[in-house]
């Protein structure tokens, strides 16, 4: 809150003749609240903290937003072209990306690979 705005607000509150209103206490509480809000923003940057950090990959940043790490991914859904080269390429790219961002060797990640079909029987039923 700007100083001008706070002074205006205090004048309005004084004009309202609110019983027990103390301008000094009001200023102190408002400043303390403002400092707490700034501290909370610093400690809780929300889910955009990683977007301007080139060293944080989008997947790591997205997972960190929810307090998760790369080893907690247990399933990957891939939509390939069903060509021999792409099937090999897609799984290879997934493996390299997981390794690059620090996934521990031996941590399982099941893959569902489809080409032009829906991922789950539930989705197929909903379209009927």
Q: Which among 82, 106, 81, 110 has a CA at the least distance from the CA of 94?
A: 110
Q: What share of the chain is helix, strand, coil (3-state, %, to 5)?
A: 55, 10, 35
* 119 belongs to a structural domain: yes
Q: Output the pLDDT for position 44.
A: 59
Instruction: Reply yes or no on whether the pLDDT at 7 is more than 70.
Output: yes
Higher pLDDT, 83 or 26: 26
* 54 belongs to a structural domain: no
* 114 belongs to a structural domain: yes
Residue 36 structural domain: 3-44
Question: How many structural domains does the chain have?
Answer: 2
CA dihedral 14, 19, 20, 23 (to 10 degrees): -10
Mean pLDDT of 102-124: 63
Instruction: Reply yes or no on whether the pLDDT at 117 is more than 70.
Output: no
Mean pLDDT of 12-31: 87
* 60 belongs to a structural domain: no
* 28 belongs to a structural domain: yes
């Amino acid at each position: 809150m700007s100083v001008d705005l706070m002074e205006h607000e205090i004048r309005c509150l004084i004009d309202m003749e609110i019983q027990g209103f103390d301008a000094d206490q009001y200023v102190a509480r408002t400043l303390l609240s403002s400092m707490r809000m700034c501290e909370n923003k610093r400690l809780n940057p929300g889910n955009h903290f990683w977007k301007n950090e080139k060293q944080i990959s989008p997947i790591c940043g997205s997972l960190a937003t929810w307090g998760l790490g790369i080893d907690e991914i247990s399933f990957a859904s891939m939509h390939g072209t069903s060509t021999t080269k792409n099937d090999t390429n897609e799984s290879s790219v997934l493996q390299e990306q997981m390794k690059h961002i620090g996934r521990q060797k031996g941590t399982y990640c099941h893959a569902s690979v489809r080409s032009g079909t829906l991922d789950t029987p539930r989705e197929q039923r909903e379209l009927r």
